[in-house]
Amino acid sequence: MAEVIYGSEVSKDIRAELSEQIGALRAAGRRMPKLAVILVGDNPASLSYVTGKEKACTQVGMESELIKLPASTSQAELMAVVRRLNEDPAVDGILCQLPLPQGLDSAQVIREIRPDKDVDGFHPINVGKLHLKEDGFVPCTPLGCMELLHRMGINPEGKRAVVLGRSNLVGAPVARLLLNENATVTICHSKTENLAQVCAEADILIAAVGRAKMVTADYVKEGAAVIDVGINRNAEGKLVGDVDFASVEPKAGFITPVPKGVGPMTDYDLNDIVEMKKEHPCHKSKYWKIIRMGADIKIKCLGCGAAIMFPRSEFERKCKKLIEKADKTE
């Protein structure tokens, strides 16, 4: 039976470590790190993600600045904002929330952000630095996968690693990170022959292909570490990963679940399902859906449909736990 590794617990540990480091800077009279986030338009999901980033900064003691621009913003106006932040010595990191409204070129924006402030790790220079084993920013999900491996006590050196998926956001960079730590790496994709056989040779298997429960027990070597990056909905609408958790868990040595595995699962987002400490008087369900995010959070009872709104601080006191993350691809 595999040891289940919860990303939410790792996230708490990392935030505690960051808080301690930033506290030491403050005690030494140093300037606090600052993240600038650009949000164009009023997409509710994007606003929710940005709110989560602001909350994370506050939790660890960082400063943050949100630059909200209307959906009518031109490419030239957006580029001017990026250049201003590039030149601001008080700003250490810049993040432009994607996707951008129709008509704006995100690739041009990514290339305009200074590489040493590109916290998403999307700038071509940072992509190149990753391949050259030079210091630079790395996309968060691949880096999170490596952090999970390290905290499992798994050293990739000499291990056979298989990455399912070759996207520029996850598959390709996580393969490079594994190679940089001296793993023997195979990248699999839609044209790979004998896929299950190739995967079953892996000591480390990372699934990032976007197909619900594709990885079954026959894909997995006895005792392997399995990291599931996939976010999918099954026929019943339930959030599931690329890995068939029920069949793989008895065979793997380590495994991450979906939800609560890879990703900052301690953040609450629009359409997440939560359990509150106190059950609703209808007694039809103990679960609630987040239907509004901001300074106030509104939740809807999944039993009777009644809605209640709290200040964010009160919501966090009364929330017992996160049950299911919303599918951010919707």
Q: Residue 42: pLDDT above 80?
A: yes
The reported pLDDT for the residue numbered 5 is 86
The reported pLDDT for the residue numbered 284 is 85
Number of domains in the chain: 3
- In this prediction, residues 78-102 reach a mean pLDDT of 96
Q: Residue 47: pLDDT above 90?
A: no
- In this prediction, residues 32-47 reach a mean pLDDT of 89
Helices (H), the chain: 7-27, 44-60, 75-87, 106-112, 124-131, 140-151, 171-180, 195-199, 245-248, 312-318
328 a catalytic residue? no
pLDDT tens sequence across 160-200: 999 999 988 899 999 999 999 999 999 999 899 999 999 99
53 a catalytic residue? yes
Band (pLDDT 50/70/90 cuts) for residue 279 is confident
Same domain, 149 and 247: yes
Same domain, 186 and 241: yes
pLDDT tens sequence across 177-188: 999 999 999 999
- pTM across the whole model: 0.76
321 a catalytic residue? no
Give 266 or 31, the one with higher predicted confidence.
31
Which of 97, 117, 244, 325 is flagged as catalytic? Answer: 97
User: Distance (Å, rounded) from C-alpha 34 to C-alpha 64?
Assistant: 5
Residue 16 lies in a domain: no
Question: Which of these three, 82, 116, 150, is where a domain ends?
Answer: 116
Average pLDDT, the chain: 88
Q: Give 208-221 as a DSSP string.
A: -S--TT-B-GGGS-
User: What are the C-alpha distances in Å from 195 to residues 163, 170, 186, 218, 258?
Assistant: 11, 19, 11, 10, 22
Polymer length in residues for the chain = 330
Same domain, 145 and 222: yes
- In this prediction, residues 306-324 reach a mean pLDDT of 74
User: Distance (Å, rounded) from C-alpha 279 to C-alpha 60?
Assistant: 31
The reported pLDDT for the residue numbered 295 is 53
Q: Residue 325: pLDDT above 70?
A: no
Instruction: Report the CATH number at residue 171.
Output: 3.40.50.720
Percent of residues, the chain, with pLDDT higher than 70? 91
Residue 130 lies in a domain: no
- Identify the domain containing residue 202 by its residue range: 140-255
Q: What is the three-class DSSP state of 56?
A: helix
Q: Residue 155: pLDDT above 80?
A: yes
Residue 20 lies in a domain: no
Same domain, 226 and 314: no
Which of 34, 117, 118, 120 is flagged as catalytic? Answer: 120
The reported pLDDT for the residue numbered 329 is 37
